[in-house]
Amino acid sequence: MTTTASRSHEEFFLDPQRCIGCHACEMACAECETNGQLAMIHVDYVDRAMSPQTSVQVCMHCEEPTCARVCPADAIAKDELGVVHSANAARCIACSNCVLACPFGVPKKIEPMKLMMKCNLCYDRTSAGRRPMCATVCPSGALWYGPRERMASMRPNSSPVNEFRFGLQKVRTRVNVMMPKGSTELVVDGTEAP
Partner 1 sequence: MLSTLNLRALGWALLASALLAASVVAGSRNLQNFDGALAAYLFATLFAAFGIVYRYAVWLQRPPTRLYWRAGWRLLFSPRFPAYLAELARRLVDELALQRFIWKRSPKRGLAHVLLAWGCLSAFAITVPLVFGWVHFTLKAGTIDVYEAHLLGFHAFDFPLGGFVALNLFHALNWSSVLVLLGVFGFLRRRITDAGQISTQTFEMDLMPLVLLVLISVTGLGLTWDYELMQGRAHPFMAISHAITVILFLLWLPFGKFFHVFQRPAQLGVALYQREGEAGEQAVCPHTGEAFASRMHVEDLKQVTAELGYDYRLAGGGSHLDLSPQGKRAALAKAHLAARTESGAFFG
Residues that bind ligand SF4 (CB under 6 A): 59-62, 65-67, 70-73, 75-76, 84, 87, 92-98, 102, 104, 106-107, 109, 116, 118
Identify residue 176 by its one-letter amino acid code: N
**Cα 139 from Cα 19, distance rounded (Å):** 9
**At its nearest, how many Å lie between partner 1 and the CB of residue 59?**
12
Decide: helix, strand or coil at residue 133.
helix
Question: Which of 5/113 has CB closer to ligand HEM?
Answer: 113
Instruction: Measure the CA–CA gap between 7 and 71, rounded to whole angstroms.
Output: 29
**Residue with Cβ nearer ligand SF4 (61 or 125):** 61
Beta bridge partners of 169: 166
Task: Indicate the pairing of strand 186-188 with strand 158-166.
Answer: parallel
Task: Find, among 75, 66, 77, the residue nearest to 94 by Cα.
Answer: 75
Residue 61 near which of ligand SF4, partner 1, ligand HEM, none (CB within 5-8 Å, type-dependent): ligand SF4
Give the β-pairing of 115-117 and 108-110. antiparallel
Distances (CA, A) of 134 to 3, 26, 109, 125, 127: 20, 7, 20, 11, 15
Return the one option of ligand SF4, ligand HEM, partner 1, none that residue 84 interacts with (CB less than 5 to 8 A, by type): ligand SF4
186 binds, among partner 1, ligand HEM, ligand SF4, none (CB under 5 to 8 A by kind): partner 1
| Least gap, CB of 13 to partner 1 (angstroms) | 13
Which of 1, 38, 46, 89 lies at the binding interface for ligand HEM (CB under 6 A)?
A: 89
User: Residue 145: which of 154, 64, 97, 55 has the closest Cα?
Assistant: 154
The entry of ligand HEM, ligand SF4, partner 1, none that residue 191 binds, CB within 5 to 8 Å by partner kind: partner 1
Which residue of 90, 149, 180, 182 would you call a contact of ligand HEM, by CB under 6 A? 90
